[in-house]
Amino acid sequence: DTGVSQDPRHKITKRGQNVTFRCDPISEHNRLYWYRQTLGQGPEFLTYFQNEAQLEKSRLLSDRFSAERPKGSFSTLEIQRTEQGDSAMYLCASSQDSARFVEQYFGPGTRLTVT
């Protein structure tokens, strides 16, 4: 499968614990995006990278959230001191800069449940 991959696919954690998710973009895609989707809603933008540079962060991204893409390939999203409101599907997407017009390709998501 050469699409965007995410790991783990499911995560159950207790409130107050830290969690980390990983996203591997499509090979040679230099842009990587994180979105969050709650049940019955559309994805909400969190942040995105061009190579290793974090270019934009949503106001939704509180201090407890941090994302990295240290070598411009895979990315991690960490949530510290999880709260029940963090329960959601965390989607990663990637796109390639080489064309003028690009498409964001989504991964399967990591479903987080905070108990």
Partner 1 sequence: GENVEQHPSTLSVQEGDSAVIKCTYSDSASNYFPWYKQELGKRPQLIIDIRSNVGEKKDQRIAVTLNKTAKHFSLHITETQPEDSAVYFCAASLGDTGRRALTFGSGTRLQVQP
Residues found near partner 1 in the complex (CB under 8 A): 4, 31, 33, 35, 40-45, 48, 56, 58-59, 91, 95, 97, 100-109
Quick one: 87 or 104, whose CB is closer to partner 1?
Answer: 104
CB 84, min distance to partner 1, A: 21
Going through 3-57 in order, the beta strands assigned E by DSSP cover 5-7, 10-13, 19-24, 31-37, 44-50, 53-57
The label of the residue with tokens 């449940």 reads 113
Q: Measuring CA to CA, how many Å separate 8 from each of 21, 84, 90, 110?
A: 7, 19, 11, 6
Quick one: 33 or 82, whose CB is closer to partner 1?
Answer: 33
Q: Residue 104 gets which letter from DSSP?
A: P
Helices vs strands, H then E, count in the chain: 0, 11
Quick one: 12 or 102, whose CB is closer to partner 1?
Answer: 102
CB 95, min distance to partner 1, A: 6
CB 56, min distance to partner 1, A: 6
Quick one: 56 or 83, whose CB is closer to partner 1?
Answer: 56
The three-class DSSP label of residue 64 is coil
CB 21, min distance to partner 1, A: 15
